[in-house]
Amino acid sequence: MATMSPHPAVMVARQRGIETCSSCGARASSVCSAIEDPDLSRLAEVAVHKEMVTGQTLCEEGDTAEHFYNITSGTVKLFKTLPDGRRQITGFASAGHFLGLAVSSTYAFTAEALEPVRLCRFSRPKLRVLLDDFPALEKRLLETAVNELVAAQEQMLLLGRKTARERVASFLLALLQQSGSCGKLSASIHLPMSRHDIADYVGLTIETVSRTLTRLKADKIIDMETPSQIGVLRRGELERIAEARD
Amino acid sequence: MATMSPHPAVMVARQRGIETCSSCGARASSVCSAIEDPDLSRLAEVAVHKEMVTGQTLCEEGDTAEHFYNITSGTVKLFKTLPDGRRQITGFASAGHFLGLAVSSTYAFTAEALEPVRLCRFSRPKLRVLLDDFPALEKRLLETAVNELVAAQEQMLLLGRKTARERVASFLLALLQQSGSCGKLSASIHLPMSRHDIADYVGLTIETVSRTLTRLKADKIIDMETPSQIGVLRRGELERIAEARD
DNA sequence: CGTTATCTTGACGTACATCAAATGTCGTGG
DNA sequence: CCACGACATTTGATGTACGTCAAGATAACG
């Protein structure tokens, strides 16, 4: 899980703003790692690099699915909306994650940048050719899809059966895990999303999320310097709550 | 979607209780359709046919994932459980569905037969070899996994943001759709699962599911001859409720 | 340093859960 | 075929966790 400092040439390329697949910081953690260095030019040929500002949408629910995206930096939120405005965020995708793998011809969700985002865009027909030529890429994609499926099932358990306190604890732990600092007893998390986004992700209201966080703080389980900076003081306790162990 | 009557030789094989891949009734709708007839023997070599009685478990959450299953008849429920017994059913798998595609070494859920089930079991190492030899199979698997991901996102919207009435309506429509009788204005559904299972699937209690169904019946939107036999009288209305259109 | 959006806190309402009992369903054996 | 018991489902009375509404407090930003 350790992020190694990249090769000097890569550093130079990044400083110059030249972003190629070989210098891509997200490559190791993304599906692109399935393609070996010699074949990387094939990948670079069809990849279009894009930058998006906060609030910009990459795709919208119901639109015809023309592209496949691979996030290289920043975070996007994926969500579905009901006609009356109720929203369910189905996930947050950060560096290394891909999205847009619809089988149907339309996207099943909207994707919106939470912070400035850099990404690689592939047209779906071109991706298809690539997948035919590199079975390893397809394998990696399947692996990732299955991982997401497992995460989705965990989220269903959260949404269907957990209490507000259990939901928030689970959410914080999931963030902690993907922010890499695993194992440590105490750690700090930066929340790139608003209370509204958290609420729409764990199926609560902003008020309940806020109240739950302040209670966790009062219980000395977490710390909150600013609303978006959370320190986990007693990780074990948080895990006990999230898994409903008593 | 139309289920064609099978080849006479296949009928004979089934009557004799001989179940081979070529005579498998679920083949067309399962991932196995990715393998052409000539190569089917390779598939049959590694597939082990099994039958399970109601209530029997195919795998248990946390167990080491040794097998991959393909359901050929009957229905299984997949669920996760919290230490205090709260349960979330993450899906129902019937003929043509597969399960056990864990990337991790352990199963993420328990799978239990809802009714007598017939299935094909593959050992994961052998499946891996098969996947290496038949990229089309891997493609089909990815396609199915993505479909399930889309369904999972829809279910997250249901669990996180829909009312009891909307959840039950959505559930009935999903059953109606997969039971094949799409398009028709009125249709009949047989529920192979108990109220308890329905409740654990849509994140409610049995009482609320029951009350909601009786209210839908009182509103002349559905009909209920027995608790497990439901007629959909006004499908459009049910869809309006499920999608929260007003 | 004001202005505005976001977050927190409080008072109150409600949809669904819980508890309890009646009714219905279905398999079993007399 | 019918009576019985066990279990599933329905129905009713009541409780509660979380939602809603309404101010404040804080933080973010020009």
The CA R_g of chain B, rounded to the nearest whole Å, is: 19
| Percent of chain B with pLDDT strictly greater than 90 | 74
| Percent of chain B with pLDDT strictly greater than 70 | 89
Same domain assignment for residues A149 and A57 = yes
Same domain assignment for residues A104 and A148 = yes
Boundary (domain end) residue, out of A104, A131, A159: A159
Boundary (domain end) residue, out of A115, A143, A159: A159
Mean pLDDT of all residues belonging to chain B = 90
CA distances from residue B124 to A242, B47, B102 in whole angstroms, order as listed: 31, 11, 10
Tell me, what's the pLDDT at A182? 55
Mean pLDDT, residues B121-147 taken together: 93
Mean pLDDT, residues B197-218 taken together: 98
A1 found inside a domain: no
Confidence of residue B43 (pLDDT cuts 50, 70, 90): confident
Same domain assignment for residues B118 and B30 = yes
Same domain assignment for residues A19 and A135 = yes
A189 found inside a domain: yes
Of A47-51, A54-58, A127-131, B176-180, the range with the lowest mean pLDDT is B176-180
Q: Which domain holds residue B183?
A: 162-242
Same domain assignment for residues A13 and A108 = yes
| Domain CATH for A195 | 1.10.10.10
The 3-state DSSP class for residue B198 equals helix
B2 found inside a domain: no
Tell me, what's the pLDDT at A12? 54
Nearest to A156 among B149, B156, B243 (CB): B156
Same domain assignment for residues A154 and A186 = no
DSSP string, A101-170: --SSSB-SSEEEESS-EEEEEEEHHHHHHHHHH-HHHHHHHHHHHHHHHHHHHHHHHHHHH--HHHHHHH
Closest C1' nucleotide to B210's CA: D10
B154 found inside a domain: no
Distance of CA B135 to the CA centre of its chain: 25
Structure tokens at A130: 């690539």
Burial A199-220 (b: 16+ CB within 10 A, else e): bbbbbbeeebbbebbeebeeee
Q: Do B152 and A147 touch (CB under 8 A)?
A: no
Tell me, what's the pLDDT at B37? 87
Q: What is the pTM of this model?
A: 0.93
Same domain assignment for residues B187 and B141 = no
Same domain assignment for residues A51 and A105 = yes
Of A141-150, A184-193, A205-214, B222-231, the range with the lowest mean pLDDT is A184-193
Cα dihedral sign, B203-A143-B143-B75:
negative
A3 found inside a domain: no
Q: Do B149 and A149 touch (CB under 8 A)?
A: yes
Confidence of residue B13 (pLDDT cuts 50, 70, 90): low
Q: Is the pLDDT of residue A3 over 50?
A: no
Q: Quick one: how many helices (H) and strands (E) in chain A?
A: 8, 11
Confidence of residue A40 (pLDDT cuts 50, 70, 90): confident
Structure tokens at A20: 């190629």
Q: Is the pLDDT of residue B210 over 80?
A: yes
- Number of separate domains in chain B: 2
| Domain CATH for B51 | 2.60.120.10
CA distances from residue A117 to A27, A56, A180, B119, B165 in whole angstroms, order as listed: 15, 9, 20, 45, 39
Would you tell me which residues 103-132 of chain A have a C-beta closer than 8 angstroms to some C-beta of chain B?
103-104, 108-109, 131-132
Same domain assignment for residues A141 and A21 = yes
A122-158, pLDDT tens digit by residue?
Answer: 999 999 999 999 999 999 999 999 999 999 999 999 9
Q: Do A146 and B103 touch (CB under 8 A)?
A: yes
A61-82, pLDDT tens digit by residue?
Answer: 999 999 999 999 999 999 999 9
Q: Is the pLDDT of residue A114 over 70?
A: yes
B155 found inside a domain: no
Boundary (domain end) residue, out of A139, A159, A179: A159
Of A26-30, A229-233, B202-206, the range with the lowest mean pLDDT is A26-30
Q: Looking at the complex, does the CB of residue B4 fall below 8 Å from at least one CB of chain A?
A: no
Mean pLDDT, residues B136-143 taken together: 93
- In terms of Cβ atoms closer than 10 Å to its own Cβ (0-12, 13-18, 19+), residue B139 is buried
Which residues is B71 bridged to in the sheet?
Answer: B119
Confidence of residue A59 (pLDDT cuts 50, 70, 90): very high
Residue B51 CA to residue B73 CA, distance in Å, equals 9
Same domain assignment for residues A189 and A142 = no
Mean pLDDT of all residues belonging to chain A = 90
Tell me, what's the pLDDT at A93? 96
Same domain assignment for residues B21 and B85 = yes
Which residue do the tokens 């597939």 mark?
A: B47
Structure tokens at A204: 């609560």
Q: Is the pLDDT of residue B106 over 90?
A: yes
Q: Looking at the complex, does the CB of residue B80 fall below 8 Å from at least one CB of chain A?
A: yes
Tell me, what's the pLDDT at B100? 80
Confidence of residue A1 (pLDDT cuts 50, 70, 90): very low
Of A36-40, A214-218, B208-212, the range with the lowest mean pLDDT is A36-40
Nearest to B135 among A135, A149, A152 (CB): A135
Q: Is the pLDDT of residue A167 over 50?
A: yes
Same domain assignment for residues A86 and A200 = no
B101 found inside a domain: yes
The backbone torsions φ and ψ at residue B151, rounded to the nearest 5 degrees and listed phi first, read -65, -40
Q: From A110, which residue of chain B is nearest by alpha-carbon distance?
A: B153
B153 found inside a domain: no
